[in-house]
Amino acid sequence: MTASTPGTYEIDVQDIEYLRHGDKPLLARLFKPRGTGPFPLMVELHGGAWCRGDRLGDTAINEPLAKSGVVVAALDFRMPPDAAYPGSFADINYAIRWLKTKAVELGSRPDMVGSMGNSSGAHQAMLGGMRPHDPRYAALPLPAGSPAVDATVRCVIMCSSVIDPLARYHYAKKLKAGGQPYPEIVDRVLPCHDQYWQTENAMAEGNPVLALERGEKVELPPVLYLQGTNDAAHPRVDLDRFVMHYRKAGGQLELELFEGETEGFITRKAGSPASTKAIERIIEFVHKQVG
C-alpha cells in the first residue's frame, strides 16, 4: 500500500507537549498510522466558541482520518481567561511550525502539512491558513537551532465554521433582543465572543470574510467546507459570502452541504450516514490535496 492510497492502518495515540507558557503546558494529541509513510499531517483545532473544549473534542473525526493514513495532531491552545485574541493564533502558528520541524520523525514531511477545525476551530484554521506570516500569529520563536519553516498549509478543512465572527455576534444579539424563545446557542456563544474578542473591532479584523472583502493580501490554500443546512449556530449567509469571495480571489473551494443536519453533526451524530459521509469526504480531500 502506498502512502497516497487511503487504507486501513493501525494507529498509535499519544499526547505530547508542544509549547509551554510559564508553568502551563500545551498538549497535542497525536494519532499516528503505523507504516513507512510519508503520510499527510493535519493539525486539528477543536471548537467551543474560542473559550471551551479541548484536543479530545473531535476524536470521532481524527481517529478514522488517521486510520486512512494521515498523521493528526489535535491541539490544545490558550483560551480565555489565559489569553484573548490573538493568543490562540500564536499557539497554533507555533504548533504548525514546530510540527514541521518534527514531521519526518512523525512519519510525514514538512511540505505535507494541512489544517482543519470545527466551528471556532474551523475559523482559526482558515484565518491562520490565510495569514501564516502575520507577525502577531508568528510571534513565538521556535527553539534555537530549529530549521527555518513557516506556518503555510497545503489545505484547510472547515466543519461548520464561524467564518464571520462579527456577523455571527450581531446575529446572536439580534435573536436575544427579540426575547424568548430563542435558540440556546445564543446564550452559549455571546459571552464567549466577548471574552475572546473583547471588541467588535477585533471581530472585524480577525475575520476571513471581511479580510477578503477588504482585499487583504492572503494565502489561498485549497479548502473543503462542510456544513448542515439546518445549522442555526453558523448562519448560511456568512458561508455563502465567504465561498463567493474566496473563489473570486482565485481560491479553490469545495462545498459540501448536508441536508437537514444541524450544528456539530459530524461528532454529535458519529456513525450516522451524514457523519460517515462527511468523514469520507475529509479523508478523500486530504489524500487528494496532500498525498
Nearest partner of 125 among 177, 171, 72, judged by Cα: 72
> What would the mean pLDDT of 219-242 be, rounded to a whole number?
96
User: Tell me, what amino acid is at 284?
Assistant: E
Rounded to the nearest 10 degrees, what angle do helices 87-102 and 120-130 cross at? Answer: 70
Asked, for residue 266, whether it belongs to a domain, the answer is yes
pLDDT digit string (tens) for 262-272?
999 999 998 99
Asked, for residue 3, whether it belongs to a domain, the answer is no
Asked, for residue 130, whether it belongs to a domain, the answer is yes
pLDDT for res 2: 37
C-alpha cell at 279: 468523514
pLDDT digit string (tens) for 119-149?
999 999 999 999 999 999 999 999 999 999 9
Asked, for residue 4, whether it belongs to a domain, the answer is no
Report the alpha-carbon distance of residue 39 to residue 67 in Å, rounded: 11
pLDDT above 70 as % of the chain: 98
Report the alpha-carbon distance of residue 291 to residue 281 in Å, rounded: 15
Instruction: Output 291 or 228, whichever has higher pLDDT.
Output: 228
Asked, for residue 276, whether it belongs to a domain, the answer is yes
The Cα angle at residue 223 between residues 220 and 225, in degrees rounded to 5: 140
Number of compact structural domains in the chain: 1
Asked, for residue 18, whether it belongs to a domain, the answer is yes
- Provide the residue range defining the domain that includes 105: 11-289
Asked, for residue 1, whether it belongs to a domain, the answer is no
Asked, for residue 6, whether it belongs to a domain, the answer is no
pLDDT digit string (tens) for 228-237?
999 989 999 9
pLDDT digit string (tens) for 13-54?
999 999 999 999 999 999 999 998 899 999 999 999 999 999
C-alpha cell at 30: 497525536
Report the alpha-carbon distance of residue 265 to residue 272 in Å, rounded: 9
Query: Residue 178 — φ and ψ, nearest 5°?
Result: -75, -10
In CATH, what number is assigned to the domain containing residue 26? 3.40.50.1820
User: What pTM was estimated for this model as a whole?
Assistant: 0.95
Confidence band of 3 (pLDDT split at 50, 70, 90): very low
Rounded to the nearest 10 degrees, what angle do helices 273-289 and 59-67 cross at? Answer: 50
